[in-house]
């Protein structure tokens, strides 16, 4: 199977590239806007800006993938709130280009979506929950989902939650690394205790993508961790695991944070469908921390 990965330089992209390189049934086609720092042991790399329609078509025409796993996106929630045009280009227009190319060249599309398409009024949520985004990032990701749903291609949407993990060349941090670094520097941090999530280890999400590709999954699947926690819970458990000073962590609520984008209060996912149909089995949060500790 020929699998093309967009966003190969991101956290999920790097984990997915590493996983697929070990799969003897896969010919990997890694793509990203900038040349990859990763050394591929097999497969090929192509520069690809997914917002450029001509480039999308050219690369797909040349590489002839069976499946595209689309991990590239603008995921900085507050930046999406203040830079609408860039957000739409990355999260909606790029998907239009991919759908067009998938239609033309008969390629299956696996698309990564988010819990932020929901309003946070309740959770955890299954795949049939009614979307109602409360910020522009969520709106853009829902718009992309709808484009895919009403297209004529073979598709699968994988929704995920609060991805964490580590790679050698992290361009951005995530909650676990931020907590660890702050406490190591003996900084006091305030962490919200009124939002609920099922944080997802990047390796688990990569495995979910691989399973969806191999099983030719169609429809929507929730791919996240299994532990429902607040960011404050995550911070306390991270501190305890790395033996850092928990007294530096203070609980707070969302109202105390002045951020451009509203966050949904309670999401988190029910992952029974992915377990049953894909054989998806995520790590516990503590197991995820052990994996990160080995990689640091």
* pLDDT tier for residue 170 given thresholds of 50, 70 and 90: confident
Q: Across residues 203-209, what is the average pLDDT?
A: 98
The residues spanned by each domain of the chain are 2-167+199-226+268-283
- Mean pLDDT: which of 27-31, 167-171, 252-256 is highest? 27-31
CA–CA separation, 169 vs 69, rounded Å? 21
Residue 252 CA, chain-centre distance (Å), reads 26
* % of the chain with per-residue pLDDT over 90: 93
CATH number, span 2-167+199-226+268-283:
3.40.50.720
Looking from the CA of 30 toward its CB, the CA atoms found within 13 Å total 25
| pLDDT averaged over every residue in the chain | 96
- Residue 173: pLDDT above 90? no
How deeply is 188 buried, as exposed, middle or buried, from its count of CB atoms within 10 A (0-12, 13-18, 19+)?
exposed
CB contact at 8 A, 105 and 98: no
Backbone angles phi, psi at 3, to 5 degrees: -115, 125
CA–CA separation, 169 vs 14, rounded Å? 10
- Residue 34: pLDDT above 80? yes
- Residue 27: pLDDT above 90? yes
- Residue 260: pLDDT above 70? yes
10: which residues sit within 8 A by CB, 6+ positions away?
32, 71, 72, 171
* pLDDT tier for residue 257 given thresholds of 50, 70 and 90: confident
Residue 227 CA, chain-centre distance (Å), reads 17
- Span 120-166, pLDDT tens digits: 999 999 999 999 999 999 999 999 999 999 999 999 999 999 999 99
272: which residues sit within 8 A by CB, 6+ positions away?
126
pLDDT at 176: 96
Please identify which residue in the block is written with the tokens 């994988």: 158
* pLDDT tier for residue 37 given thresholds of 50, 70 and 90: low
pLDDT at 214: 98
The pTM score is 0.97
């Amino acid at each position: 199977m020929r699998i093309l990965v967009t966003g190969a330089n991101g956290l999920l992209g790097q984990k997915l590239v590493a996983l697929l390189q070990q799969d003897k049934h896969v010919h990997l086609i890694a793509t990203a806007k900038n040349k990859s720092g990763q050394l591929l042991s097999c497969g090929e790399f192509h520069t690809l800006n997914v917002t450029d329609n001509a480039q999308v078509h050219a690369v797909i025409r040349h590489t002839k993938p069976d499946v595209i796993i689309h991990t590239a996106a603008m995921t900085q929630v507050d930046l999406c709130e203040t830079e609408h045009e860039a957000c739409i280009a990355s999260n909606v227009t790029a998907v239009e280009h991919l759908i067009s190319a998938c239609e033309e060249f008969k390629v299956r599309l696996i698309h990564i979506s988010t819990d932020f398409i929901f309003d946070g009024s309740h959770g955890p949520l299954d795949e049939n929950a009614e979307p109602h985004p409360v910020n522009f990032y969520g709106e853009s990701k829902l718009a992309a989902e709808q484009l895919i749903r009403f297209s004529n291609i073979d598709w699968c949407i994988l929704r995920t939650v609060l991805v964490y993990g580590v790679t050698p060349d992290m361009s951005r941090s995530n909650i676990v690394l931020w907590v660890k670094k702050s406490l190591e520097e003996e900084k006091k941090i305030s962490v919200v205790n009124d939002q609920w999530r099922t944080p997802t280890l990047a390796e688990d999400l990569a495995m979910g993508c691989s399973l969806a590709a191999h099983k030719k999954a169609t429809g929507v699947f929730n791919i996240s961790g299994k532990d429902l926690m607040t960011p404050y819970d995550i911070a306390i458990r991270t501190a305890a695991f790395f033996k850092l000073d928990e007294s530096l962590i203070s609980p707070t609520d969302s109202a105390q944070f002045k951020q451009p984008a509203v966050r949904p209060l309670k999401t988190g996912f029910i992952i029974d469908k992915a377990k049953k149909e894909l054989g998806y089995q995520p790590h516990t949060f503590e197991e995820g921390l052990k994996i990160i500790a080995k990689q640091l």
